[in-house]
Structure 1
Amino acid sequence: MTNVFGEVAMKKIKNEAELLKKALIIGEKYAINRGYESFKPTNSAKDKIESLYRLLVNDKLIHPLPVENENQLNMRHKLALWIAKQLPEGHALLK
């Protein structure tokens, strides 16, 4: 499905904002375990999202977006989907 700009529109998932917050927390822990420094308090959410997205793509934990669809909205969505798949069945964010 494409939107009026010809971009692929991703289906909104329930609790996406909360899932993204969880993904940023877990993703930062993953990055630290991989040897990266933790985020600084001055890092913007945009920078964190893009950094974690690129790390997970690099480590083949998520499939990359087509280059023309690499934007903050789609990266946020991919991170939310990633963490949703990591959570145990019945988790409060999945209801």
Structure 2
Amino acid sequence: MKKIKNEAALLKKAIIVGEKYAMNRGYKGFAATNSAKQKIESLYRLLVNDKLIQPLALDKEDQPNMKHKLALWIARQLPKGHELLQ
């Protein structure tokens, strides 16, 4: 897995956008007590279920790889020239 530039900031943006996407799909939103790990896994599984991202191999399904997939997903959604893509 090749680390991408601004991956942490992209992940943060992916969680925000992903949560809005989930709410538009009927999910009630995350509780304040949900950890970042729970949010990442939930969003990853939702995006895989909706076929917006390709699933990881079963032996590669772990937090670092899920974070990386979410960062790649949001990087593709952002317009060219966005500050996080610099």
Unaligned runs of 5+ in 2: none
1:5 match: none
Structure 2 CA distance for aligned equivalents of residues 35 and 86 of structure 1 = 21
Within 5 A, what are the aligned runs for 1:80-91?
A: 80-91=71-82
* Higher RCO (CA 8 Å, separation ≥ 6 residues): 2
Structure 1 CA distance for aligned equivalents of residues 31 and 45 of structure 2 = 18
Question: How many pairs does the alignment contain?
Answer: 86
Is 2:27 the partner of 1:36? yes
1:52 match: 43
Structure 2 CA distance for aligned equivalents of residues 72 and 83 of structure 1 = 17
Is 2:74 the partner of 1:66? no
Q: Shift in Å at residue 37 of structure 1? A: 1.0
**Larger proportion of helix:** 2
1:94 match: 85
1:42-79 CA-to-partner distances (Å, cap 9, x unmatched) read: 00000000000000000000000000000000000000
Q: TM-score w.r.t. structure 2 length?
A: 1.00
1:77 match: 68
% identity of equivalent residues: 76
Structure 2 CA distance for aligned equivalents of residues 31 and 75 of structure 1 = 17
1:3 match: none
Runs of 4+ in 1 over 3 A off after TM superposition: none
1:6 match: none
